[in-house]
């Protein structure tokens, strides 16, 4: 009878978990709350099935549910790894999952690049009267004072490139069982990620154009803003890895959590290089000094 329960395969049959259901419910509540939050900002009401959902309360509840599910679900995944459930096959599938996630993120940014290049390359298209009126028939639109790419944008580029170097240092230190190198590499990467976010916030605060009212501002803030959000997510991801490293987690042979964070961070680096070249350099026109 005992032999019937012996595991004779490399797969992990996960115990029943509440997290997928709670994650979907939290995301649904978060989406409804976001609509109510945005309606509040416009001075309008969001009424659904006779209930007034206007305000930030529902959004806050959904956000808390999603954040708790993220914490609890990944906590369970870490426990499963420590219990030996992450066999060679399971680890391979985790890597496939992370690669597919990054591929979906690539397509997400392709959409914003597409929108930017569509507005830039066809700014003078006569059939689109609204666009010609908004851009003056050329790119950048008339009256837009763009950033000088060789000042703060270049500094941010160097910060991200340095952070890619430090996270690679941390990875190699882990592979050679150098715990101090792992901790210092992750610490520097997190610090550089925070510094990038501060610099981008400063840049936004000194921009000579707004999000609304022109196609240049809309495409600029959507592309660079979503990248900034990904930098914040990646910084949190790496900070969690730092705390785990300080707690003695990760070994040279089993460290997928850190490896996934490093992949994500390199993806963020590469996207920024494309943004820097396409939006800050190629799309700068004749930047005005700020």
Please give the distance of CA 30 from its chain centroid, rounded to a whole number: 18
Confidence of residue 275 (pLDDT cuts 50, 70, 90): very high
* CATH architecture of the domain with range 1-85: Orthogonal Bundle (1.10)
Residue-range domain boundaries for the chain: 1-85, 87-290
CA 169 to the chain's CA centroid: 22
Q: What share of the chain is helix, strand, coil (3-state, %, to 5)?
A: 70, 0, 30
- Nearest Cα neighbor of 77 from 63, 97, 60, 62 is 97
CATH number of 87-290: 1.20.120.80
Query: Residue 126's pLDDT is what?
Result: 42
Band of pLDDT at residue 1, cut at 50, 70 and 90: very low
Residue 51 and residue 12 in contact, taking contact as beta carbons nearer than 8 Å:
no
C-alpha span between 46 and 59 (Å, rounded) = 13
pLDDT at 129: 45
Give CA separation, 6 vs 16, 84, 88, 134, 189, in Å: 19, 15, 18, 69, 44
Answer whether 26's CB lies under 8 Å from 69's CB. yes
Q: Give the whole-number percent of the chain exceeding pLDDT 70.
A: 90
Mean pLDDT of 17-35: 95
Strand partners, 51: 48
d(CA 33, CA 27): 10
Mean pLDDT of all residues in 91-103: 94
Looking at residue 195, its pLDDT comes to 98
Cβ atoms of 238 and 186 closer than 8 Å:
yes
More confident residue, 102 or 254: 102
Instruction: Name, in order, each residue with C-beta under 8 angstroms of 206's C-beta and a sequence gap of 6 or more.
Output: 290
* Position 10 confidence tier, pLDDT thresholds 50, 70, 90: confident
Burial class (CB in 10 A: 0-12, 13-18, 19+), 85: middle
What average pLDDT does range 151-164 have in this prediction? Answer: 96
Residue 237, pLDDT above cutoff 90: yes
2 falls in which pLDDT band (50, 70, 90)?
Answer: very low
Model confidence band, residue 49 (pLDDT cutoffs 50, 70, 90): confident
Please choose, from the candidates 206, 222, 229, the residue with its C-alpha nearest in 3D space to the C-alpha of residue 287.
206
Q: Distance between CA atoms of 56 and 35, rounded to whole angstroms?
A: 9
Sign of dihedral through CA atoms 124, 126, 130, 133?
positive
């Amino acid at each position: 009878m005992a032999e019937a329960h012996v595991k004779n395969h490399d797969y992990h049959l996960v115990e029943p978990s509440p997290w997928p259901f709670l994650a979907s419910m939290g995301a649904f509540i978060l989406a409804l709350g976001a609509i109510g939050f945005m309606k509040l900002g416009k001075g309008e009401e969001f009424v659904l099935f006779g209930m007034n959902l206007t305000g930030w309360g529902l959004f806050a509840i959904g956000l808390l549910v999603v954040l708790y599910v993220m914490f609890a679900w990944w906590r369970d995944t870490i426990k499963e790894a420590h219990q030996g459930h992450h066999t060679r096959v399971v680890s391979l599938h985790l890597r496939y999952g992370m690669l597919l996630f990054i591929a979906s993120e690539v397509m997400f940014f392709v959409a914003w690049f597409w929108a930017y290049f569509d507005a830039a390359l066809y700014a003078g298209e006569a059939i689109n009267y609204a666009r010609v009126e908004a851009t003056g028939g050329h790119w950048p639109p008339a009256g837009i004072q763009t950033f000088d790419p060789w000042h703060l944008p270049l500094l941010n580029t160097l910060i991200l490139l340095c952070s890619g170097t430090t996270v690679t240092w941390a990875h190699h230190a882990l592979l050679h069982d150098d715990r101090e190198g792992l901790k210092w590499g992750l610490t520097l990467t997190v610090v550089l990620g925070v510094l990038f976010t501060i610099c981008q916030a400063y840049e936004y605060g000194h921009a000579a154009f707004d999000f609304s009212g022109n196609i240049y501002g809309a495409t600029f803030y959507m592309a660079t803003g979503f990248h900034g959000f990904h930098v914040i997510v990646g910084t949190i991801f790496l900070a969690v890895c730092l705390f785990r490293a300080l707690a003695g987690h990760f070994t040279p042979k089993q460290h997928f959590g850190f490896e996934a964070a490093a992949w994500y961070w390199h993806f963020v680096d590469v996207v920024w290089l494309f943004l820097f070249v396409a939006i800050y350099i190629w799309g700068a026109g004749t930047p005005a000094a700020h």
